[in-house]
Amino acid sequence: MTTYIAHPVPAQVLTELRTADDAGRGTVPRTDDEGGAPLRCCLRRSAPGERIALVAYAPLRRWAAATGADPGAYDEVGPVFIHADDCPVPTGEGLPFSNSHRTVRRYSAEGRILGGRLVTGSPEEFEGAFRNAFDDPEVAFVHVRAVEHGCFLYEVRRG
């Protein structure tokens, strides 16, 4: 059985996002009074009282800049929650935020969307969606996204 690892927003990117986001706005930290925000830095939900920020993030744009790819119109910017300060790196165990409907969106090495699959939250269904995606040699990586808002949650690559 293949193990699939959820990759958070990379540490260097977090350092940049904590100053200015991918829409060019300054980051505004706030205290999360309620908790429960899905943090893309450490791939867990926030606890009440933690300092977090909602920032604009362009995962394809940043990936394309590092690889020389051109995602064209698929370059999108969306909101993500991060800790306002450094936080522990996730352990890579399990699939975070998988207890709800999610979309597993497949991308080519050029950054083009190759399709997607709705999953309802079971580990077996996620495993099947990843296996199905990576059985296609054209798929370079997948993004797991929230259905209700379409937000980027994390990236998965071949293991």
pLDDT in tens, 10-47: 999 999 999 999 999 999 999 999 999 999 999 999 99
Q: What is the pLDDT of residue 10?
A: 94
Which residues on adjacent β-strands are paired with residue 126? none
What does pLDDT average to over the chain? 93
Asked if residues 101 and 119 have their Cβ atoms less than 8 Å apart, the reply is yes
The whole-model pTM stands at 0.92
| Surface-to-core class of residue 117, CB atoms within 10 Å of its CB (0-12 exposed, 13-18 middle, 19+ buried) | middle
Q: What is the pLDDT of residue 128?
A: 93
